[in-house]
Amino acid sequence: MQIRSGSLLVAHPKYSDKEHSRHVVYITESTNYSTMGIVLNSSDSYYLSDLLEQKGINWPFETLVNIGGDYSPTCMIMLHSGEWYSSNTMPITTDISISSDNVMLEKLEMGNIPEWYRLFLGTSGWTPQELEHQLKSDKPKWLLLSHPSQALIELADKNLWHNAVAEYSQDVFSNYI
């Protein structure tokens, strides 16, 4: 079981704790020292205009910002299609990248937008040992979907967890048929 960038962690239907119940986490980086990801389906969200108004910036669009995790909760991150870039963009797969800088907001405001994107505040993170234990224990907290579909990652609705569990199930069964 290899945890790699571009994988999904799907909260286990039976064993996940209340804090992570029905969460779907997109892995943005996995090294020997840490694994980082973004909760794709947090129930907490804000309007970007409300967040930027506190900084004296008038944002004219109704853009949602979701909570991506507890680490660096004030850091704004954009998960987006791979054709677009900003001054601090890191490719995750050939189709998906992540950006985190002020230039990305300036580009969005000017109409320079990626084909697909979502904004988040904060990230989630684990040490390799911590995540390995959560995946391999007798009562694992997470299911690992190594190669999720693009459509699943882009899905931004309340059915994301159900669809992720279904895709995980199809993936598991395809290895036995």
57-73 pLDDT, tens digit per residue, is 778 888 899 999 999 99
Token pair for 58: 């008038």
CATH number for the domain spanning 107: value is 3.40.1740.10
Q: How many CA atoms lie within 13 A of 88 on its CB side?
A: 11
Range of the domain at 138: 8-174
Q: What is the pTM of this model?
A: 0.91
Note the pLDDT tens digit of each residue in 87-142.
999 999 999 999 998 899 889 888 899 999 999 999 999 998 999 999 999 999 99
Mean pLDDT across the chain: 90
pLDDT in the model for residue 106: 87
Total count of domains within the chain: 1
In a domain, 33, yes or no: yes
In a domain, 41, yes or no: yes
Return the HEC string of the chain.
CCCCCCCEEEECCCCCCHHHCCCEEEEEEECCCCEEEEECCCCCEEEHHHHHHCCCCCCCCCCEEEECCCEEEEEEEEEEECCCCCCCEEECCCCEEEECCHHHHHHHHCCCCCCCEEEEEEEEEECHHHHHHHHHCCCCCEEEECCCCHHHHHCCCCCHHHHHHHHHHHHHHHCCC
Report residue 76's pLDDT band, with 50, 70 and 90 as the boundaries: very high
Report residue 149's pLDDT band, with 50, 70 and 90 as the boundaries: very high
In a domain, 149, yes or no: yes
Residue 47 has pLDDT above 60, yes or no: yes
In a domain, 3, yes or no: no
Residue 1 has pLDDT above 60, yes or no: no
pLDDT in the model for residue 172: 80
Token pair for 158: 């309340």
